[in-house]
Amino acid sequence: MFEKIPRQFYYFLTAFFVLNLIQSVFTELIFDEAYYWYFSQHMAWGYFDHPPMVALLVKISSLFFNGELGVRFMSCIISSLNLLVLWLLIDRKEKNRYIPHFFVLVFSMTLLNAYGFFTLPDTPLLFFTSCFLLTYKHFLKDPKYSTAILLGIFMAALMYSKYHAVLVIVFVLLSNLNLVKSKYAWLSVLVALLCYAPHFYWLYENDFVSIKYHLYERPNDAYQFEKYTLGFFVNLIALFGLTFPLIYYALLKTKGKDLFNRALLFLTYGVILFFFISSFNRRVQTQWIIIICIPLVVIVYNFMLEHKQVLKWMVRLGIINAFLILYLRAGLIYQPLLFDFHYESHGNKTWVDGIREEVGEIPVVFENSYRNAPMYEFYSGGIPTFSLNNVMYRKNQYSIDTSEERVRGKKVAYLSKYINDNTFSYTKPDGWVYKGKYISDFDSYRKLECTLKEETVSLDGSDYHLQVFNPYNFDIELSKLKFSVAYLSPYKNTLGLKRIAPKPVEENLPFLTKKDTTHFLVEIPQYDTEKVGYIRIVISENGLYPGLNSKPIPVN
C-alpha cells in the first residue's frame, strides 16, 4: 500500500514535518501545553481534565529532546502520519496527479495546521480519528477478526485522547445500524472496553471527578445569542478561513453513495448538529468542532477532483489561506509581526525569569492559575509550583494530585490578585500584573471535603448536617479553619461569601481526625434569593481565601 504512493507526496510530507519541527523549536509553549507537560511529570491512567494520551505524547517526546521540542516532537510525528492516513482514505486513481492540491487543502485548514506542532488533546484525537476511519473502511470491505481487533484498539485510542471522541464512534455507528448484528463489530467494542478498562478504573478510584466536573460542576453563563450560537457559526468559518464557502458547498453537494461516505457525512453533520444544540447551553470552543476537518478533507478532496472549477478556486483561496497561516505562524515566534497582539506563546520565558530573579529558587504558589504554575515550573528548570484554587475559580489537576505536599511547610513566594499587602510585583509585556508576597511556613488543606446530608437547602435554614472528611495523614486543628457559605448563581458562578460557625456534634472537639469524618450542625444565612441557585460550604485556612471544598448544592 505504501509503495504505491508517489515520491512527490513524500517530498511535501517531509517539508510539512520539517516546518513543524522548526516551529516547535522556536515557539514558546502555550499555557495548555505547559499544563499537559505537568501531567507528563506524573504519569497516570487519567487526569482531572482529560484522559492520558496527551501526557503520553509529551513523555515520549521528552525521551528524545529537551525544551519545547521535548513537548512537541511526537505531535510533529503523528500530525505528519495523519496526512499519510488521510491520503490513504482517498480511493480515486487520479489523486496522484493532484498531490499539491491535497497539501494546499490540508495546509489551509487553520487548526489542522496548528495541531501539526502544538501538543494538545486534539492532536492525537485527529490522528486516531483518521486511523479509525481507515480501519473502518477496510472493515466494511472485509470484516474479519484482525480488522475488528484493530478497530477496537483505535476506538480505545480515540477515547484515551479526548472524551469528545465518543461522538466519532457514535455517529459512525448511527450511519450503519446493521453493525449491531455483526459479531466482528461486537468484538471491536469488547476490545475497546478492555483497552479502556484502566481509565475506567482510574475514574472509579477518583470518584469520577472528570465526568462530574464536565457534566455537572462546570460554571456557565446565561445564554447570549452573540456569544453562544452566533459564536458557534463564527467558529465553523474560522476552521477553514477563506475556503469555507467551497468546503461547505462540497459538503452539501456530497451524497452518501456507500457506507463509508455515509459514515463521513454522518460524522460531519452529527458533530455540527451536536454542538449547534450545545450552543444554546454553553459557549462552544473552536477546537471542540475541529474533528470535522478529518471527514471533510476526504469529502472536499473527492469533490474537488470531480469538479475542476471548484478545484481551481480551492487552490487559489487555499494558497492565500496558507500564506496568511505561515505569517501567523511566524508571528507565534516573533511577536512584533502581530503588532500589538500578544499571544500565549509570547514572553513566557521573560516573565518567568523576571519572577525568578525576585524570588530565587524557592517554590512558587499561584492562586487560581493552573496555567501559570506549570509554565513557571517548565521555564524555571523544575522549581516546584502549586496552584491554590479558591472558590472564585475551578478545580483542576492540582486539586487531586499530591503537588500540595511539595510546598507544605516551606517558605514560598505567593502570587495572587487577591493580595493587598504584596511585597513585590511584576508586570508582563501584555500588561498583566503579578502581585506577590512571601509566606515563611506555607500550609493549606484544599482537599478537605464538605458534604451536606441534605440534597437541597433553603436559605436561612438551620440544623443542616455537615460532614467534613479529612483525607490527610495528619490531624488538623479546628482553630486553624474558618467556614463560609459561598453563594452561587444558577450558572454556578460565585456571587459572594458569608461566614458561618458550624457546631461540632461532639463537644470540645479540638481537631479534624486524619482519614476520618467529623460531623457538625450548620445554619445557612439568608442571601439574595433571586440570584442564588446553589451554595457551597467552603473552608479557609491560615488567612487564605476559601477553597472549593464541596460540590454545588441546589437551593430550594
pLDDT digit string (tens) for 86-144? 999 999 989 999 999 999 999 999 888 888 899 999 999 999 999 999 999 999 999 99
Do residues 524 and 464 touch, judged by C-beta distance below 8 A?
yes
Q: Specify the CATH number for the domain of residue 493.
A: 2.60.40
Upper half-sphere CA count for residue 30 (Cβ side, 13 Å):
15
Question: Same structural domain for residues 146 and 216?
Answer: yes
Q: What percent of the chain lies above the pLDDT cut of 70?
A: 99
Question: Same structural domain for residues 456 and 537?
Answer: yes
Question: Same structural domain for residues 193 and 324?
Answer: yes
Residue 298: Cβ-neighbour burial (10 angstroms; 0-12, 13-18, 19+): buried
Residue 345 belongs to a domain: no
Question: Same structural domain for residues 531 and 434?
Answer: no
Total count of residues recorded for the chain: 556
Domain count, the chain: 3
Question: Same structural domain for residues 200 and 114?
Answer: yes
Residue 61 belongs to a domain: yes
Question: Same structural domain for residues 182 and 286?
Answer: yes
Distance of CA 510 to the CA centre of its chain: 42
Q: Please give the pLDDT value at position 3.
A: 52
Q: What is the pLDDT of residues 245-280, one digit of tens each?
A: 999 999 999 998 899 999 999 999 999 999 999 999
> What average pLDDT does range 376-404 have in this prediction?
95
Q: What percent of the chain lies above the pLDDT cut of 90?
A: 87
Closest to 303 in 3D by CA, of 311, 294, 295, 312: 311
Q: What is the pLDDT of residues 360-375, one digit of tens each?
A: 999 999 999 999 999 9
Place of cell 510530507: 13
Of the candidates 388, 408, 439, which is a domain's last residue? 439
For 391, residues 6+ apart whose C-beta sits below 8 A from its C-beta are 486, 494, 497, 536, 538, 545, 546, 547, 548
Domain of 433 in residue numbering reads as: 351-439
For 209, residues 6+ apart whose C-beta sits below 8 A from its C-beta are 48, 203, 395, 400
Closest to 483 in 3D by CA, of 422, 536, 407: 536
Question: Same structural domain for residues 123 and 65?
Answer: yes
430: pLDDT strictly greater than 80: no
SS (H, E, C) 334-392: CHHHHCCCCCCCCCHHHHHHHHHHHHCCCCEEEECCCCHHHHHHHHCCCCCEEEECCCC
Residue 463: Cβ-neighbour burial (10 angstroms; 0-12, 13-18, 19+): exposed
Local confidence band at 462 (pLDDT 50, 70, 90 cut-offs): confident
- Bridge partners (DSSP) of residue 524 are 461
pTM for this prediction:
0.94
Question: Same structural domain for residues 435 and 453?
Answer: no
∠ CA 174-176-181, rounded to 5°: 110
Do residues 414 and 365 touch, judged by C-beta distance below 8 A?
yes
Residue 193 belongs to a domain: yes
* Average pLDDT for the chain: 94
Q: Other C-beta atoms within 10 Å of 232: how many? A: 22
Which range has the worst mean pLDDT, 27-36, 73-82, 214-223, 507-516? 214-223
Question: Same structural domain for residues 223 and 317?
Answer: yes
Question: Same structural domain for residues 242 and 207?
Answer: yes
Question: Same structural domain for residues 103 and 131?
Answer: yes
